[in-house]
Structure 1
């Protein structure tokens, strides 16, 4: 009988230091997508101890820190799977935190978290995690958190797939494309006109014979002819070259309940001989490419114009 009592006392002495030094208040594990976990142990030390040993869930830890209830660091030294904490003042509790990858393992798409604890442990998973298997019945389930009972535990889970968001802004892209096309066409036209003018002037300068008499009368006549031709061209391009029957056309168009833009487009085509490029009409009216395209389609559906392709450009022919 004495031997049994001695054995029980010896066992109590061996197992009691941790309890004599204090007790765990809580242990929590936060799981990350990378396989790392963050462990937080809240330990309440005994008031009669100066140095205490607090067990860790594993010996391979990173960024180990110990702080008191006010967040002030407390000196410590890790010794394998325990941490020796040196108390220099009265401390209500110790906040021990560390990171580790030793508690998780992966096979295929399934991760497994394994740990052993003397008290219940609350495990928090990333949003969207699917629990595949549990070694024991949870004490509590709340949102993404599971509280497991004391002892050896394992939780198998799969992580959510990353979500890639794709936003398509059709109208914005169309507007940007139209603006870019208009700027490119304008720049190209300006450069072509400048190059042609420079080339023409160079050829004229190089091919002109050396004057033997005063060139002013001849040059004056040439200038007058050129100015007259340019004036006629600009007058015709401005839409005033063909106004015959325009009043009658306007009366017809008013009876068709057309928009102002549609009437201006039809009058422009009439003034230019009954047919014109879509691009010229659109530029003259200052319309975006998409808006003009829809307008011409409406006019074609009503039988007012005919749209046909000439080369690489769309032309519009008046059918009134």
Structure 2
């Protein structure tokens, strides 16, 4: 009788299967985490590996469902069988020491990691399950990947009158230059997230030259041109809708 009761309770528990974790790493250290699992009706608890996150969403069979945060864990209550997708953006999975970045994978399931296109892997915590271009799949458990950006260099130029420092410049600084006066020969003072950057510019500069100098991607160039056409001012929703940018991409580009 006792065994029958235990078996009945096990049958009544919600079932989770085929859990998948995908981590998209951006060049500024932010990561878009997507957890996918097959579920049945019931209460599901998903361990939260980070404390800081944004852009949180949960979908069951492509439809938004409520997601609760309880004692440092995500909790969701599916009402039907289907595929549950939980997604969030976080800066806490990466760290940097010198030139070397590390993405940490504190998951109990294998995780597929999409590294930035211009990055190069220099270290792994274990043998990967698969590697394809900038995509790498790591086994379950505490894992990590070390990577660098070999084409990004720190440049220090000393002149008789001033010192110019350009290092890991936030692309928003480029926008200030492009919209605020470089294109017409002014000499603005720029500020980036990581360092104060002072640049003396004369003459005209094109978006292609800015792209080459600051390693801009296509989304960043589109946003710069969009704001330039509108005098440097626009709402984030307008930019996202007019340029067709994903919500997480727009948030990452315009968060500061």
Normalised to the residue count of structure 1, the TM-score between the two structures is 0.42
Match of 2:52 among 46, 60, 78: 60
1:219-238, aligned counterparts within 5 Å? Answer: none
Q: Distance in 1 between matches of 2:56 and 2:70?
A: 12
Change (3 A) 1:114 1:91: same
Q: Does 1:85 align with 2:85?
A: no
Cα distance change of structure 1 residues 140 and 84 upon mapping to structure 2, 3 Å threshold? same
**Aligned twin of 2:28:** 34
Distance 1:80-1:157 versus aligned 2 partners, 3 A rule = farther
Change (3 A) 1:150 1:92: same
Partner of 2:129: 139
SS in 2 for 1:93: strand
More relative contact order, 1 or 2 (CA 8 Å, 6+ apart): 2
Aligned partners of 2:120 and 2:147 also within 8 Å: yes
Q: In the aligned structure 1, how far is the partner of 2:15 from the partner of 2:66?
A: 16
Q: Please tell me whether the aligned partners of residues 43 and 94 of structure 1 are also in contact (alpha carbons under 8 angstroms).
A: yes
Aligned residues: CA RMSD: 2.4
The answer to which structure has the higher helix fraction is 1
Deviates more, 1:32-41 or 1:107-116: 107-116
Instruction: Indicate the residue corresponding to 1:44 in structure 2.
Output: 38
Distance 1:79 1:116 in 2: 19
- Secondary structure of the corresponding residue to residue 127 of structure 1: coil
Aligned counterpart for 2:19 among listed residues 18, 25, 40: 25
Q: CA deviation at 1:128?
A: 2.0
Higher strand residue share: 2
Residue 81 of structure 1: how far off its partner (Å): 3.6
* Larger CA Rg, structure 1 vs 2: 1
Quickly say closer, same or farther: Cα 1:161–1:91, change in 2 above 3 A: farther
CA contact (8 A) 1:55 1:81 kept: yes
Matches for 1:1-320 after TM superposition, within 5 Å: 20-46=14-40, 49-69=41-61, 71-88=62-79, 90-161=80-151, 164-165=211-212
Structure 1 residue 164, shift from structure 2 partner: 4.8
How far did 1:33 drift? Answer: 0.8
2:102–2:144: 8 Å Cα contact kept in structure 1?
yes
Structure 1 residues 80 and 125: CA distance shift in structure 2, 3 A: farther
| C-alpha deviation, 1:60, in angstroms | 2.5
User: Structure 1 residues 103, 135: CA separation in 2 closer, same or farther (over 3 Å shift)?
Assistant: same
Say whether the 8 Å CA contact 1:133–1:155 is kept in structure 2. yes
User: What is the alpha-carbon distance in structure 2 between the residues aligned to residue 152 and residue 158 of structure 1?
Assistant: 21
Deviation at 1:55, TM superposition (A): 2.1
Structure 2 unmatched ranges of 5 or more: 1-9, 153-209, 214-256
Distance in 2 (CA, whole Å) between partners of 1:106 and 1:159 is 12
Q: Distance in 2 between matches of 1:31 and 1:41?
A: 15
1:30 aligned counterpart, secondary structure: strand
